[in-house]
Amino acid sequence: MDPRSEVLLRQAELFDGELLLAGLPADDLLGVLPHAQGWNWHAGDQALLATRFPGRSHFDTQMPAGDYRAAVLFLPKSRELSDYLLQALASRLAGKPLYLVGEKRAGIERAAKQLEAFGRPRKLDSARHCQLWGVEVEQVPEHPDLHALAQHYSLPLSDGALEIVTLPGVFAHGRLDRGSALLLEHLDGLPSGHLLDFGCGAGVLGAALKRRYPSSELSLLDVDAFALESSRLTLARNGLEANVIAGTGIESAPEGLSAIVSNPPFHQGVHTDYQASENLLTQAKRHLLKGGELRLGPDSFRKYPPLIDRHLGPCPTLAEADGFRIYSARG
Ligand SMILES: C[S@@+](CC[C@H](N)C(=O)[O-])C[C@H]1O[C@@H](n2cnc3c(N)ncnc32)[C@H](O)[C@@H]1O
């Protein structure tokens, strides 16, 4: 059991009945709380929960409809995302309790202050390096319009400006990451066919690819529902078409790809996690056509070349700047 769920279950009487668990971990909590529903935006957790508790967890950027007597938010990493989620939950909980649980090192103490917008928050428990807070919703906010919270920026590419739309919680919200910028400078000479932007975030690489290779089919894949929604907004803003795939990793990608381009994932919550990137390197070959290319970066830790060498083939460095490297390997 996730330590945050253990903290909830120390006071299980608070969590009886029709309850919404937002951002819940993929553990046994739905089994112990049989009337609770889940709201998830992580495709990996959702896949596990959907198998074990069919129909009880909803993968979406929007709060699932329902008449809940209370809700719990498992604190996400991003402050902007927790703002949106708390507002969405509080807007449907007039006079009812809203709980917030999270790890101390994830900033739960600071995040609990966000509850002050709705009433008088109280710390209910502190254990397993986590805290549980609760507030009775007295000041009911408007239901937030997610798209109105988007940030926009413009990328001056050689083939014209590209408009990027990012939503709360998405990687590099409102700005271009330095590593993505380096990769954007090195998108020439990819084999045309079916291209994949793996870990697409707001779709900055994917949109640039579709612009540069208009006759190639493009797929964008991410594990996060807010990233996928941002990618859809970015594509629409630039009049581009592509397949947007909710996936748990490279295993969710199509086969027969001519190229995979990725600024690979390296964080998950507050924990560093290279698993999705390692899987990408070890399994890319299965998804690439013979001679297809994996173009990858940035890498500042030099962790990728041994894996690429072993599973794909020789791994030349295509570019290097500010300690970052971009690699290109052929399947
Ligand atoms: C470093 S960001 C890059 C985002 C975007 N391509 C850019 O350059 O701005 C990595 C992305 O990988 C996604 N990600 C993390 N784990 C993943 C997984 N298992 N499968 C697919 N995408 C994943 C994250 O949600 C994040 O959007």
Minimal-distance CA residue to ligand 1 atom 4: 201
Q: How far does the centroid of ligand 1 lie from the alpha carbon of residue 125, in Å?
A: 34
CA 10 to chain CA centroid, nearest Å:
29
Q: How far does the centroid of ligand 1 lie from the alpha carbon of residue 198, in Å?
A: 7
pTM of the model: 0.96
Instruction: Give the residues across from 268 on adjacent strands.
Output: 271
Question: Cβ(206) to ligand 1 under 6 A?
Answer: no
With H, G, I as helix, E, B as strand and everything else as coil, classify residue 291. Answer: strand
Instruction: Using the structure block, give the residue that is written with the tokens 């709980």.
Output: 99
- Average pLDDT for 124-142: 97
pLDDT at res. 270: 44
User: Does 175 score more than 70 pLDDT?
Assistant: yes
Beta strands of the chain (E only): which ranges?
A: 19-22, 36-40, 57-59, 70-74, 97-103, 122-127, 130-136, 151-157, 160-166, 194-198, 217-222, 243-246, 257-262, 267-268, 271-272, 288-299, 317-321, 324-330
- Average pLDDT for 281-307: 89
pLDDT at res. 305: 87
pLDDT above 90: percentage of residues in the chain: 84
Ligand 1 mutation target, pool 263, 281, 295, 299, most atoms within 8 A of CB: 263
Q: Give me the chain's average pLDDT, please.
A: 94
Which atom number of ligand 1 is nearest to the Cα of residue 262?
6
**Res. 267 pLDDT band, cuts 50 70 90:** low
Q: How far does the centroid of ligand 1 lie from the alpha carbon of residue 297, in Å?
A: 12
Which atom number of ligand 1 is nearest to the Cα of residue 275?
19
User: Does 299 score more than 60 pLDDT?
Assistant: yes
User: Does 197 score more than 60 pLDDT?
Assistant: yes
pLDDT at res. 92: 97
Q: How far does the centroid of ligand 1 lie from the alpha carbon of residue 52, in Å?
A: 25
Instruction: Using the structure block, give the residue that is written with the tokens 């199509």.
Output: 254
Question: Cβ(279) to ligand 1 under 6 A?
Answer: no
Minimal-distance CA residue to ligand 1 atom 1: 265
- Average pLDDT for 290-307: 86
Minimal-distance CA residue to ligand 1 atom 6: 200
Q: Where is pLDDT greater, at 270 or 28?
A: 28
Question: Cβ(204) to ligand 1 under 6 A?
Answer: yes
**Res. 273 pLDDT band, cuts 50 70 90:** low
Q: How far does the centroid of ligand 1 lie from the alpha carbon of residue 14, in Å?
A: 36
Residues 320, 310 contacting (CB under 8 angstroms): no
**Res. 271 pLDDT band, cuts 50 70 90:** very low
Q: How far does the centroid of ligand 1 lie from the alpha carbon of residue 279, in Å?
A: 13
Question: Cβ(179) to ligand 1 under 6 A?
Answer: no
Minimal-distance CA residue to ligand 1 atom 19: 249
Q: Where is pLDDT greater, at 260 or 313?
A: 260
- Average pLDDT for 179-200: 95
Rounded CA gap, 191 and 5, in Å? 47
- Average pLDDT for 189-211: 97
pLDDT at res. 218: 98
pLDDT at res. 163: 98
Give 77's Cβ-side CA count (13 Å radius).
14
Q: How far does the centroid of ligand 1 lie from the alpha carbon of residue 280, in Å?
A: 11
User: Does 300 score more than 90 pLDDT?
Assistant: no
Q: How far does the centroid of ligand 1 lie from the alpha carbon of residue 233, in Å?
A: 17
User: Does 94 score more than 90 pLDDT?
Assistant: yes
pLDDT at res. 325: 87
User: Does 69 score more than 70 pLDDT?
Assistant: yes
Question: Cβ(228) to ligand 1 under 6 A?
Answer: no
User: Does 272 score more than 60 pLDDT?
Assistant: no
Q: How far does the centroid of ligand 1 lie from the alpha carbon of residue 264, in Å?
A: 6
